[in-house]
Structure 1
Amino acid sequence: MPKITSTNRRNFFKLAAGTASITILPASKIWGADAPSNQFRFAQVGCGGKGYSDMKNTIGSGAKLVALCDVDKSRAGQAFKEFGQLPIYDDYRVMLDKHDKEIDGVVISTPDHTHACIALEAIKRGKHVYVQKPLARTYEECQTLLEAAKKFGVVTQMGNQGHAGMGLKLWEQMQRGNEFGDILEVNCWSNRPVWPQGMTAIPPAEAIPEHLNWDLWLGPSAKRDYAKKYLPFNWRGWWDFGAGAMGDMACHNMDPAFWIFKLGLPNKIQAKASAPAGISYPAWSEIEYTFDKSPVTGKPLKLTWYDGKKLPPKPEGSHPNLTLGGNGCMVVGSKMTAMGGSHAGRPRPIAFTGKEYSTDVKEAERHWRAESKKYKNDNHHKQWVDAAKAGDQEAPGSSFDYSVPFTQSILLGCVALRFPGEQLIWNDKNKNFSNHKKANELLNFEARAGFNLKL
Structure 2
Amino acid sequence: MAEKNNVSRRNFIRNTGITTAGLWIVPRHVLGGKGFIAPSDKLRIASVGVGGKGESDVAMFARSGKADIVFLCDVDDRRAANSVKAFPQAKYYKDWRELFDKESKNFDAVSVSTPDHNHAIITLNAMQLGKHVYVQKPLTHDLFEARTLTQAAKKYKVITQMGNQGSSNDGARQMREWYEAGLIGDVHTVYTWTNRPVWPQGIPWSTEKPPVPKELDWDLWLGTAPYKDYIDKLVPFNWRGWWDYGTGALGDMGCHLVEAPFTVLGLEYASEVQCSVGSVYVDEFKRGYFPESCPPSSHVTLKFPKTGRMKNDIELHWMDGGIQPTRPEELGANDVFGDGGNGAYFIGTKGKMMCGTYNDNPQLLPLSRTAEAHVPVKYKRVPGGANGHYAQWIEACIAGYGNMEVSSPFEKAGPLVEALLMANLAIRGFDVQKTVGGKTSFPARYVKLLWDNNAMKVTNVDDVNQFVKRTYREGWGSLTL
TM-score past 0.5 threshold: yes
- The secondary structure found in structure 1 opposite 2:47 is strand
- What amino acid is aligned across from residue 399 of structure 2 in structure 1? A
Change (3 A) 1:432 1:135: same
- The secondary structure found in structure 2 opposite 1:245 is helix
Whether the 8 Å CA contact 1:63–1:385 is kept in 2: the answer is yes
Distance in structure 2 (CA, Å) of the matches to 1:145 and 1:59: 26
Distance in structure 2 (CA, Å) of the matches to 1:38 and 1:209: 40
Whether the 8 Å CA contact 1:186–1:332 is kept in 2: the answer is yes
Distance in structure 2 (CA, Å) of the matches to 1:452 and 1:105: 22
Q: Which residue in 1 is equivalent to 2:322?
A: 309
Q: Deviations over 1:275-312 (max 9, x none)?
A: 27720110000000011324223311100001100001
- The secondary structure found in structure 1 opposite 2:343 is strand
- The secondary structure found in structure 1 opposite 2:89 is coil
- Please state if 1:366 is matched with 2:371: yes
Distance in structure 2 (CA, Å) of the matches to 1:329 and 1:231: 30
Distance in structure 2 (CA, Å) of the matches to 1:175 and 1:277: 42
Distance in structure 2 (CA, Å) of the matches to 1:277 and 1:209: 27
Q: Which runs of 5+ in 2 are unaligned?
A: 1-36, 280-288, 431-444
Deviation at 1:203, TM superposition (A): 4.2
- Please state if 1:287 is matched with 2:300: yes
Q: Deviations over 1:104-134 (max 9, x none)?
A: 1000011101100110111111111000000
- Please state if 1:328 is matched with 2:332: no
Q: What is the identity percentage for the equivalent residue pairs of Structure 1 and Structure 2?
A: 37
- Please state if 1:219 is matched with 2:234: no
Q: Which residue in 2 is equivalent to 1:341?
A: 356
Q: 2:191 aligns with which of 187, 191, 208?
A: 187
Deviation at 1:150, TM superposition (A): 2.0
- Please state if 1:386 is matched with 2:401: no
- What amino acid is aligned across from residue 394 of structure 2 in structure 1? V
- Please state if 1:41 is matched with 2:49: no
Distance in structure 1 (CA, Å) of the matches to 2:207 and 2:328: 43
What does 1:33-432 align with in structure 2 at a 5 Å threshold? 38-61=41-64, 62-275=66-279, 278-324=291-337, 325-351=340-366, 361-362=367-368, 364-367=369-372, 377-378=384-385, 379-393=388-402, 395-420=405-430, 421-422=445-446, 423-432=448-457
Distance in structure 1 (CA, Å) of the matches to 2:207 and 2:352: 45
Distance in structure 2 (CA, Å) of the matches to 1:307 and 1:137: 19
Whether the 8 Å CA contact 1:43–1:68 is kept in 2: the answer is yes
Q: Which residue in 2 is equivalent to 1:440?
A: 465
- The secondary structure found in structure 2 opposite 1:178 is coil
Give the superposed CA RMSD.
2.0
Whether the 8 Å CA contact 1:294–1:301 is kept in 2: the answer is no
- The secondary structure found in structure 2 opposite 1:303 is strand
- What amino acid is aligned across from residue 335 of structure 1 in structure 2? K
Query: What is the number of residues matched between the two proteins?
Result: 411
Q: Deviations over 1:320-352 (max 9, x none)?
A: 22332111100011221111000122310233x
- What amino acid is aligned across from residue 91 of structure 1 in structure 2? D
Q: Which residue in 2 is equivalent to 1:355?
A: none
Change (3 A) 1:184 1:216: same
Distance in structure 2 (CA, Å) of the matches to 1:371 and 1:322: 27
- The secondary structure found in structure 1 opposite 2:357 is coil
Distance in structure 2 (CA, Å) of the matches to 1:127 and 1:277: 40
What does 1:23-38 align with in structure 2 at a 5 Å threshold? 38=41
Q: Which has the larger radius of gyration?
A: 1
Deviation at 1:37, TM superposition (A): 5.1
- What amino acid is aligned across from residue 85 of structure 1 in structure 2? Q
- The secondary structure found in structure 1 opposite 2:316 is strand
Whether the 8 Å CA contact 1:168–1:346 is kept in 2: the answer is no
- TM-score, normalised to structure 2's length? 0.82
Q: Which residue in 2 is equivalent to 1:4?
A: none
- What amino acid is aligned across from residue 372 of structure 2 in structure 1? H
